[in-house]
Structure 1
């Protein structure tokens, strides 16, 4: 799963998460730090939530059964993993600075 997929998934679940918590659109938009108009656009499927909104949603509503059903028991851990996987790490070096292998194939972040 990547950032775009999580954005799409949680944009579609935003209204369910809001109603699960019992919040009005006004209250939810205030909690997430966005305008009510933007929240309505996301809930109606006219636009997607941004990555920062998705991260805030996961952090503030981590106990939501809907979020846990989509992303596992700890939604914050999931978005943290996705965020850190997009950061490049040094490749092709060992602790001694010598390369002892070559890449045969790479797929979904796994290298052979």
Structure 2
């Protein structure tokens, strides 16, 4: 779990959600869900799971695009990312004033922008 930025104001509700998230990420239920997601993705695509930005098979993280169904995630609620791209997406989120748009919409937009940027670098 990412650390809270030094200047961030964390109310009781946000602190409670962060604790719940940390507990879930450490749980057997999450590890089983993660394995199931990988199996579903490989079955759906017919190929190994890759980072959603750079297509590297060296992905590390299963990133939540929404926390609305945490513990009962849909397949489309998550995306595989390598560590550098996961960090990049979170840095972009933290740097912006996105809170009024909605987390899922912002994450999908940031992933699209990261893919475009990665494509330009490769060209």
TM-score by length of 2: 0.26
Larger Rg: 1
**What TM-score, normalized by structure 1, do the two folds share?**
0.28
